[in-house]
Amino acid sequence: MTNFKPHIIPTIAALAASAALTPHQAQAQSGGTRSYPSTQAPASTAPLPAATGGRAKYEPEGNGVYHGASLPNTWDASGLRTQLQQYQQYAGKRLSVVTWFASTYTNGRMTSWHNEYLGPLTRVRDAGALSLIKFSVQDSNFGATKKMAGLKEITLGVYDAYFQEAADAVKQFGGPVFISINHEMNGTWEPFSEAYDGSQGPAPKVTAADFVSAWKHIVDIFRQRGANNAAFVWSPNVPDVGPVPFTKYYPGDDYVDWIGASFYSGNPIENLDLIYRTYAARKPIFITEWATGEDKNKYYVGFPGEAKWVDSFFKALDTRYPRVKAISWFQWDKRQYGESNYQLQRDPGQQQVYSADIKNPRYLDSAGNNGGTASTGIETARLEVAPREVVLNEVAPVERPKAVPPPQAPPVARIKLQIVPREQVRTER
């Protein structure tokens, strides 16, 4: 049975308003979830795979699962503190992961990881949690600016200075950090997707192979710069959307630490089977976004309601999907952008069920504590990566890919990185 949650295309008025968005508003419109088509997974009684390798980077021991949420404001200390306290009140347990968004450009200006992203990394760590950074190559306000770091240009080295600075900032931070590059790449709404539908405006045509090449190039730069405290999370939408399956975008086991997934209530729980069967034997699974929306009429036939769907999700993790080792609820209200209110407290029934299920001690309440079942090894991981002094003018050579443009291609202009102070805006993102 096929069910369709229509992709929301911005109105002309919304597009006009986007030109004046603050960085915080732009991120809310660009980052995060979309409305997805959903196909019910075929029933299967075949056993699901068990893990065949050792623990992945920052994977909790035993049956521990990171308890996470995506929070809209990580850009000032008081805002983050308030949100953490509120979510703990709603959920009844502290967070061990905080998800937030980053991009190469914001309102047409190239970002600086030292100036803009070290702050959130440090604040989240000081709160006892790990960061999952969902990084995208397009402007956080792409609908208005049409700015992005092209996948082909990334592979050719045009943006090497940018990613070297990013890697140096992560290395300076020194603690464990999850980074997801260009999440939901198999969707039709992202300009870095082969299946992009043009809904955010024109973008260069790319292929899944371009995505893979750019991913590998970025990861290679992080490794060459010594930013080994980054764990890379490859995170498609589940289920597939459009003609190109998520498997075509996979960079390979050597370039991925965790498998991610965006998974919303337009799907029956068993729709997780395909990505789980494909990768769970080799990699832990991180549900990088999950939540329920408001319009149940657009969900699959037989949708049981928010509370029962949330309860079924937790029961499936406890019984059917033991390799899911991290979850992050999408705690955003995006109604002003033509989408839904995904906040946990929106539905009292789902909040009550969530709060009851998350009490299970396997769901970690901080980065270094999983309720007493086993140690995550996070503190040890921190000690292995020593902070370094920032040298902004230092640019180490980065090995170029063997593939080169055809002889007739014009010379490629390189981006000269310029670090400028960020605007003093209280709610920057």
Average pLDDT over residues 315-341: 95
Averaged pLDDT score across all residues of the chain: 81
Structure tokens, 391:
């040298």
Enumerate the H helices of 127-174 as residue ranges. Answer: 142-145, 151-156, 160-173
* Residue 424: exposure state from Cβ atoms within 10 A (0-12, 13-18, ≥19): exposed
Whole-number pLDDT of residue 367: 75
What DSSP designation does 363 have? E
* pLDDT (average), residues 287-293: 97
386 vs 243, more confident = 243
pLDDT confidence of 337, banded at 50, 70, 90?
confident
pLDDT at 389 over 50: no
Measured between alpha carbons, how far is 163 from 225 in angstroms, rounded to an integer?
10
Collapsed DSSP state (helix, strand, coil) of residue 165: helix
- Tens-place pLDDT, residues 96-122: 999 999 999 999 999 999 999 999 999
Q: What is the pLDDT of residues 6-47, one digit of tens each?
A: 333 233 333 334 444 444 444 444 444 444 444 444 445 567
Closest by CA position to 40, among listed 3, 65, 74, 90: 3
- Mean pLDDT over residues 351-361, rounded? 98
pLDDT digits (tens, 9 = 90+) for 161-214: 999 999 999 999 999 999 999 999 999 999 999 999 999 999 999 999 999 999
Name the CATH topology of 60-384. Answer: TIM Barrel (3.20.20)
Q: Which two tokens stand for residue 353?
A: 């069920």
pLDDT band at 72 (very low <50, low <70, confident <90, very high): very high
Q: Is 329:287 a contact under the CB 8 Å cutoff? A: no
Q: What share of the chain is helix, strand, coil (3-state, %, to 5)?
A: 35, 15, 50
Which element (helix H / strand E) includes 307? helix 306-319
Question: What is the distance between the alpha carbons of residues 131 and 134, in angstroms, rounded to a whole number?
Answer: 9
**Is 178 in contact with 97 (CB distance < 8 Å)?**
yes
